[in-house]
């Protein structure tokens, strides 16, 4: 069984996720844009029983465009959001794919809220690549 590890920037808040995610999604909603500081958010959803959490998290809850409430868990030391829980889906935990810091992580299966997508978001592959030595 594959175990993937996610963590905040300072490493204080850590997750071990067993097996494969049941859903990988890319979200263009305005709230995910604000939460990530990027133009979209990417989540890997796991069964709660497959996730082990270590470290302390601060929490913040909000109601999304769909009407559901999510509680976000972030590190109080470095501020990085690592995971969140949905009130209507108590058996699952969503993990920020960036928290895995693994370029080989599987790609998203679905894209949502595309009506709020930055028109250039999918053109990133056409940008000139800058290499750092």
Q: What is the pLDDT of residues 18-46, one digit of tens each?
A: 999 999 999 888 888 888 888 889 999 99
Number of domains comprising the chain: 1
Residue 20 lies in a domain: yes
Q: What is the pTM of this model?
A: 0.89
Residue 26 included in any domain: yes
- The model's confidence at residue 133, banded by pLDDT at 50, 70 and 90, is low
Of 28 and 122, more confident: 28
Do residues 97 and 43 make contact, with C-beta atoms less than 8 angstroms apart?
yes
Query: Residue 113, class by beta-carbon neighbours within 10 Å (0-12 exposed, 13-18 middle, 19+ buried)?
Result: buried
- Strand, coil or helix: 47: strand
Is residue 94 included in any domain, yes or no? yes
* Per-residue pLDDT band at 59 (split at 50, 70, 90): very high
Could you tell me where the beta strands, DSSP code E, fall in 48-103? 51-54, 58-63, 69-74, 81-86, 89-96
| Residue 123 forms part of a structural domain | no
**By residue range, what is the domain housing residue 100?**
3-117
Residue 114 CB contacts under 8 Å (≥ 6 apart), including other chains: 28
User: Average pLDDT in the 71-82 region?
Assistant: 95
CATH of the domain at 64: 2.170.150.70
């Amino acid at each position: 069984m594959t175990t993937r590890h996610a963590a905040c920037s300072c490493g204080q808040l850590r997750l071990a996720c067993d097996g494969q995610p049941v859903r990988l999604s890319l979200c263009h909603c305005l709230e995910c844009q604000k939460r990530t500081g990027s133009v979209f958010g990417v989540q890997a959803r796991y069964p709660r029983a497959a996730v082990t959490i270590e470290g302390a998290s601060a929490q913040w809850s909000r109601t999304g465009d769909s009407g559901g409430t999510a509680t976000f868990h972030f590190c109080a030391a470095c501020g990085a959001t690592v995971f969140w829980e949905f009130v209507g889906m108590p058996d699952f935990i969503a993990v920020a794919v960036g928290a895995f810091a693994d370029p080989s992580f599987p790609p998203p299966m679905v894209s949502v809220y595309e009506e709020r997508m930055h028109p250039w978001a999918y053109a990133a592959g056409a940008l000139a690549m800058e290499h750092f030595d």
